[in-house]
Structure 1
């Protein structure tokens, strides 16, 4: 539901392809996919050794990959970028 400045409420409606693209930007969708694929890859690499340090490193990589999707945000720090 959308609430206007006047206080009026408008039901959330689907306005077609333009509305869909505004809500689900293709670049963001691809970035999300790539980040999640990298997380799976890091997880599988950690499974190969089973060492606790590998799991911790995998978690750190997962967090970095989740954050990289927002690299275009003003508050994103380059130090967060996955290596």
Structure 2
């Protein structure tokens, strides 16, 4: 059975692999409808609105990798919650438990992946 910790680690692995496979290092918008990405200065422009371009540039691979690293630290800090020796078990953040009985912080980290087939309804905060 997949645990919430295992699930969160696997989804972060997926995010990291996807970001590393994308053009690196930074994406920027031209302020109109294009995105410049990577060292080769390629441009994506087809069917992008300015809002789309801004959103894509804001979530470039470098940012995704930074977010994955931060989320991994949170997962590791909470990996033993509920065992009696975990971060939440000694009131690390006020005994905040999710409705399904797990760590609320891990439940929050997993929620963006609720459409994944391995996500379990009882993890929903």
Scaled by the length of structure 2, the TM-score of the pair is 0.27
Scaled by the length of structure 1, the TM-score of the pair is 0.35
